[in-house]
């Protein structure tokens, strides 16, 4: 089950955190992974680890908010592999603040990466999927697309857009055998979270990490690997009847 042999999977933000975990799990299950990241060195580290474990992967630099870079990156994938079976739109950035605490620059920056990035990458991948008779797009949304979370105004705006883009792509391309779903994680403990907490809550890291853990009724944050396992299911043939859905992975948050 969950065999991805023969499939080409592009993972944006594949250099760390959830993207790195998804790239690794997909490669373990037989996919040829293309890890794209703004930080090409980070993507190369992911690829090196995959190859060391016996998997097949390539790395590439890509700013998902830049149309020319996205076009170039996806054209390179098509030239090399002649197909794109799976796209995971994972690249994203965070922001803390109410609407009053969100500058226009913050708003535009979040929109460019989290919304425009999903748009550009999906638009670039879809023609190949249509030509080859099918494919899968998986977007990383967030629990904030489904429930209000304090001080996440701009971030919530972007993830709500990811949720509705998911539904639109799913309905527009269902007859072309292209599925599109999104995952909505609650707090997931990644190096990004540690760096974010250290930068914004210096001296209070332990306290803030504990608060983030306690937000989930299970009393802990999720792991990148847990999200990656759900991504594997949704991108595999075992999920062939699933499209247009938002899957929470939230430690019980929506049960509160």
- The residues assigned a catalytic role are 155
What one-character-per-residue DSSP string does 220-253 give?
Answer: S-EEHHHHHHHHHHHHSGGGTT--S-EEEE-TTG
Buried b vs exposed e over 168-207: b needs ≥16 C-beta within 10 Å?
Answer: ebbeebeeeebbbbbbbbbbbbbebbeebbeeeeeeeeee
52 within 8 A of 29, measured Cβ to Cβ: no
Which residues sit opposite 189 in a β-bridge?
223
- Residue 158 contacts residue 111 (beta carbons within 8 Å): yes
Pairing of strands 178-185, 246-249: parallel
The helix (run of H) or strand (run of E) holding residue 211 is helix 205-214
**Strand order from edge to edge, sheet including 8-12:** 56-61, 32-37, 8-12, 86-89, 135-140, 178-185, 246-249
What are residue 84's phi and psi, to 5 degrees? -135, 110
In our burial notation (b when 16+ CB lie closer than 10 A, e otherwise), range 60-70 reads: bbbbbbbeebb
């Amino acid at each position: 089950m969950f065999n991805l042999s023969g499939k080409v999977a592009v993972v944006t933000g594949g250099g760390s955190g959830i993207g790195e975990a998804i790239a690794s799990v997909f490669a373990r299950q037989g996919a040829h992974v293309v890890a794209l990241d703004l930080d090409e060195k980070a993507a190369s580290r992911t690829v090196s680890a995959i190859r060391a474990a016996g998997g097949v992967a390539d790395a590439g630099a890509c700013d998902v908010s830049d149309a020319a870079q996205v076009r170039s990156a996806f054209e390179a994938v098509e030239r090399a592999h002649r197909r794109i079976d799976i796209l995971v739109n994972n690249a994203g950035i965070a922001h803390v603040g109410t609407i009053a605490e969100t500058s226009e620059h913050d708003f535009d920056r979040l929109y460019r990466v989290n919304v425009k990035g999903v748009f550009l990458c999906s638009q670039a991948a879809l023609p190949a999927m249509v030509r080859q008779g099918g494919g899968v797009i998986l977007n990383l949304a967030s629990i904030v697309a489904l429930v209000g979370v304090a001080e996440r105004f701009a971030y919530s705006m972007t993830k709500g857009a990811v949720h509705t883009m998911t539904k639109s792509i799913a309905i527009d391309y269902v007859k072309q055998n292209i599925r599109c779903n999104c995952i909505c994680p609650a707090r997931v403990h990644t190096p990004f979270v540690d760096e974010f907490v250290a930068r914004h809550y210096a001296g209070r890291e332990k306290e803030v990490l504990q608060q983030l853990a306690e937000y989930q009724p299970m009393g802990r944050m999720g792991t990148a690997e847990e999200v990656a396992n759900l991504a594997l299911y949704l991108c595999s043939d075992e999920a062939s009847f699933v499209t247009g859905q938002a899957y929470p992975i939230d430690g019980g948050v929506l049960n509160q």
